Amino acid sequence: VALLFYSSVLSGEAWVRALRAESPELDIRLLPDIGDPDEIDCVLSWRPPPGTFARLKNLRLVYGTGAGVDQLLADPELPPDVPIVRVVDDAQTDDMVAFVLAIVLGWHRKLDVIRAQQAAKLWSRPPFRSVRDVRVGVMGLGALGRATAERLAMVGFDVAGWNRSPRDIPGVEVHHGPDGLGAFLARTECLIVLLPLTDATRDILNADLFARLPPGAYLVSVGRGPHLVEADLLRALDQGQLSGATLDVFREEPLPQDHLFWTHPKITVTPHVASLASPESVAKQIVENLRRLYAGEPLLNQIDRVAGY
Ligand SMILES: NC(=O)c1ccc[n+]([C@@H]2O[C@H](COP(=O)([O-])OP(=O)(O)OC[C@H]3O[C@@H](n4cnc5c(N)ncnc54)[C@H](OP(=O)(O)O)[C@@H]3O)[C@@H](O)[C@H]2O)c1
């Protein structure tokens, strides 16, 4: 098996180390010396540089190094019939949950206000609300969203979720489909977005959606940047329809230096750090999927190319 690591943004060394530790016999190729392209069976990639796939005539598997595959599917040269697999990883899920908890708890307990008060040596208690009275909502109840909703509920928040298909999650009020969106939004004071980026979810965070949230709601966007209509967010913040937002993902990454979000007083910018699949944690499932590929067995975490996730 020859596996090519190909990314325009990630260095491959940690992946090579982790994969070699898991499977010493694996033939791993790295740019610029990929050897004979006809020998490459599998590409492991994040944001492949243009022209990647056109050179690989015998490709049998494309492996994304993260949970989202939108950057792979956007490649016009992606061969139509090759299976695409993504990462689903418990450690990555734990990290996403921890990140969202940090943001939601900081928002709920007004840590930014308290820090500003400390700077002014001001002893003043913000209005108190019990965690049990605070209604948070998670859009997208997949591997990451479901765990996030469950653990927000464990902390004590009043949690709802919204998903394409129904879900049964103890302690979480689940809404689904376009018909369920209105009721979900109407009760959600803090909206956490963990949807994949697809044609159906692009631009979903827009003026119409913000207007259906309770006035003063807070947004935590951790799925993908193109979910958000940026001008609509700025207007909703100016008008007080939203009280603030933490954004981890952006239409253009890195966020351009002159972007308004950097200095907006109601926006917290985090540089796509919510969670990252670590090579050490993921190498085992890659090797297992290569074994399955050659044994003709069903692959783990294969995405549905029509649905786009
Ligand atoms: N910021 C970061 O650091 C970071 C890190 C990792 C991942 N992410 C993002 O997080 C996303 C979610 O990851 P995941 O592993 O949880 O994905 P996943 O397991 O594929 O889950 C996606 C969920 O979204 C639901 N969904 C899809 N389209 C929908 C629609 N149109 N309306 C309502 N619900 C819809 C799906 O519902 P059904 O199952 O019913 O179809 C599914 O439950 C990734 O795609 C990636 O973009 C961000």
pLDDT digits (tens, 9 = 90+) for 141-190: 999 999 999 999 999 999 999 999 999 999 999 999 999 999 999 999 99
- Residue 49: per-residue pLDDT: 80
Question: Ligand 1 mean position to 145 CA, how many Å?
Answer: 7
Q: Stretch 228-256: mean pLDDT, rounded?
A: 98
What's the CA gap between 231 and 191, in Å, rounded? 18
pLDDT grade for 8, boundaries at 50, 70 and 90: confident
Inter-axis angle of helices 279-295 and 90-108, to 10 degrees?
140
Global pTM reads: 0.97
Mean pLDDT of the chain: 95
Are the beta carbons of 198 and 70 closer than 8 angstroms? yes
Q: For ligand 1, atom 33, which residue shows the shortest CA distance?
A: 164
Question: Ligand 1 mean position to 88 CA, how many Å?
Answer: 11
- Residue 4: per-residue pLDDT: 86
Q: For ligand 1, atom 19, which residue shows the shortest CA distance?
A: 142
Question: Ligand 1 mean position to 299 CA, how many Å?
Answer: 19
Closest CA to 231 of 251, 253, 256, 254: 251
Instruction: Evaluate if residue 52 carries a pLDDT over 90.
Output: no
Instruction: Evaluate if residue 103 carries a pLDDT over 90.
Output: yes
Pocket of ligand 1 from Cβ distances under 6 Å: 66-68, 88, 96, 140-145, 163-165, 194-198, 200-201, 222-224, 248-249, 272, 274-275, 309
Are the beta carbons of 64 and 84 closer than 8 angstroms? yes
- Residue 31: per-residue pLDDT: 80
CA dihedral 214, 220, 226, 232 (to 10 degrees): 40
What's the CA gap between 94 and 122, in Å, rounded? 36
- Residue 11: per-residue pLDDT: 82
- Residue 304: per-residue pLDDT: 97
The ligand 1 atom nearest the CA atom of 201: 31
Question: Ligand 1 mean position to 49 CA, how many Å?
Answer: 24
